[in-house]
Structure 1
Amino acid sequence: MPSLTGLPLQIIVALLAVAAFAATMWLWPRLGGNGWKAWLGRLGAFFGTQVVVLAALGLVANSYFGFYSTWSDLLGLDGAPGQVVDHQPGGKAIRVTGEQKMYSAQGPAKERSGKIEKIDIRGEASGLNSDAYVYLPPQYFQPEFAGSRFPMALVLSGYPGIPEKLISLLKYPETALKGIEAGQLPPTVLVMMRPTPAGVGNRDTECMDIPNGPQVETFFTTDLPKAMATDYRIYDKPEARAVMGDSTGGYCALKFALRKPDAYRSAVSLSGYYEAPSDPTTGDLFGGNADLKRENDLLWRLENRP
């Protein structure tokens, strides 16, 4: 099956849309009349053309914005609402699986532009795994910073979404590099991810520790900082960590800073919201526990918690 985000599929469906439109125009005079066959013919031609055109537009929009990366992700076939992997203690928490091109006019050399690594993170406390992209600024590779540690910023996409678009569309590494070069930002390591770890399938968890389910908040606030500080030269202290995101990622960012300030002291929300939704993509996040639901209502926390 062709890739959901690949150019060949977009071209094929776009050509089908053009062909459907041309066929409708050619057949329309033959579909005149008041009989039921003529009515069915006109309705079929009209709706068939609309479906193919919308499919072509949807494929282009999905490829650009990165809502779904695979057919399984789109169709909800990535497994159960949430599965936990039983990890044995010990072993490496982060495994580098590849590299991503650095989108910068500064050139590819890591001493000038930095480096983007694709990694797989193993969460010991949560039992979850997830892939992510790590941007290492150029100072990370320069001899004068060889003994230095760096602050970290976790960057979360919306749901659905893919972390690649944080690089190619929202250009977080490129923007960070410009800020570093302008002296507006200290050399900072970025960790770019979806708000739903790969280990929970395609469920929108809203970064919750779900009762009897995946412990997503624990993954982001306990496992991730520990793994990054162990495998990279990153400060292991909350005041050197920040989190930001858009939409669902924005809600998660604010929630981490409010609920777990020992993990992240600073948070930025872009077009986020303040209370977790309840819909078919989330399922029952709170296990019927009204207190737990209230604890994850950020405006309630601001009014009722220190």
Structure 2
Amino acid sequence: MMALRLAGTMPAATPSTLPSEAFYRAGVPKGTITDYVWDQSKVFPGTWRQYWVYVPAQYDPDREAAVMVFQDGARFMDPKGHFRVPAVFDNLIHQGEMPVTIAIFINPGNKGMPAPKQRRFNNRSFEYDTPDDAYVRFLMEEILPEISKRYRLTKDPGMRAICGNSSGGICAFTAAWERPDAFRKVVSHIGSFVNIRGG
């Protein structure tokens, strides 16, 4: 079972409000984070997005790694933000409290090039709030196969998780609802179920 202790959403991300796992510790090996751009989508044609892949120091290319996908990816990997997932994963993997897990942080799509450091993306609601299988097909047919060219990702749905906040939370729920054969673990932080398109 994948154990997770992600720092939650708080009014302010300060040392007194975040769990100890959210901070880098001496002697704990750090994973690597590589950034990519995806502008080849057939599921969401005409969109451009950044995504990042976190690979823990313990990753062994001869063994499959667990997978966790994060919507609004930049927010979840921000080292000064509320979640600080890379630090949390470094600590929990090092302690043996979770399996070796590759994290995929995906920003929403934008039609046209977004402004630098823009946090609003014009295709976000369409991708996240629509109750259909489009987003999970985007993951399964485009993003995961692309990352699998570089890393060995598990195909075991029990070792795959998907996470999001607000509309990203309902997106995570919908992905697992549509494809339980692909994702069996969901973290929905204040999922915006009332934002569902047509709901």
**Same fold? TM cut 0.5:** yes
**What code does the residue aligned with 2:93 have?**
I
- Note if contact 1:149-1:235 (Cα within 8 Å) is conserved in structure 2: yes
1:118 aligns with 2:38: no
The structural deviation recorded for 1:129 is 4.1
- Note if contact 2:31-2:57 (Cα within 8 Å) is conserved in structure 1: yes
Match of 1:219 in 2: 138
Match of 2:122 in 1: 202
Of the structure 1 ranges 198-207 and 252-261, higher mean CA displacement relative to structure 2 is found in 198-207
Match of 1:300 in 2: none
The structural deviation recorded for 1:197 is 1.8
Question: In the alignment, which of 163, 181, 202 is matched to residue 74 of structure 2?
Answer: 163
TM-score by length of 2: 0.68
Match of 2:183 in 1: 264
Unaligned runs of 5+ in 2: 1-11, 14-22, 113-120
**What code does the residue aligned with 1:198 have?**
N
Task: Evaluate the alpha carbon distance shift between residue 237 and residue 229 of structure 1 in structure 2; reply closer, same or farther with a 3 A threshold.
Answer: farther
- Note if contact 1:123-1:224 (Cα within 8 Å) is conserved in structure 2: no
Give the Cα separation in 1 of the matches to 2:141 and 2:130: 12
Q: Deviations over 1:253-272 (max 9, x none)?
A: 11111112233121111111
- Note if contact 1:155-1:191 (Cα within 8 Å) is conserved in structure 2: yes
Question: In the alignment, which of 7, 24, 27 is matched to residue 104 of structure 1?
Answer: 24
- Note if contact 1:205-1:216 (Cα within 8 Å) is conserved in structure 2: no
- Note if contact 1:207-1:217 (Cα within 8 Å) is conserved in structure 2: no
Q: How many residues align?
A: 165
Percent of paired sites with the same residue: 21
The structural deviation recorded for 1:106 is 4.1
Unaligned runs of 5+ in 1: 1-63, 66-102, 278-284, 286-292, 295-306
- Note if contact 1:245-1:269 (Cα within 8 Å) is conserved in structure 2: yes
The structural deviation recorded for 1:180 is 0.8
Give the Cα separation in 1 of the matches to 2:194 and 2:128: 12
Task: Evaluate the alpha carbon distance shift between residue 271 and residue 118 of structure 1 in structure 2; reply closer, same or farther with a 3 A threshold.
Answer: same
Give the Cα separation in 2 of the matches to 1:264 and 1:133: 19
Q: Which has the higher contact order (CA 8 A, sep 6+)?
A: 2
The structural deviation recorded for 1:147 is 1.1
More helix by share: 1
TM-score by length of 1: 0.47
Match of 1:153 in 2: 68
- Note if contact 1:208-1:216 (Cα within 8 Å) is conserved in structure 2: no
1:276 aligns with 2:195: yes
- Note if contact 1:123-1:219 (Cα within 8 Å) is conserved in structure 2: no
* Aligned residue runs from structure 1 range 79-98, under 5 A: none
**What code does the residue aligned with 2:92 have?**
G
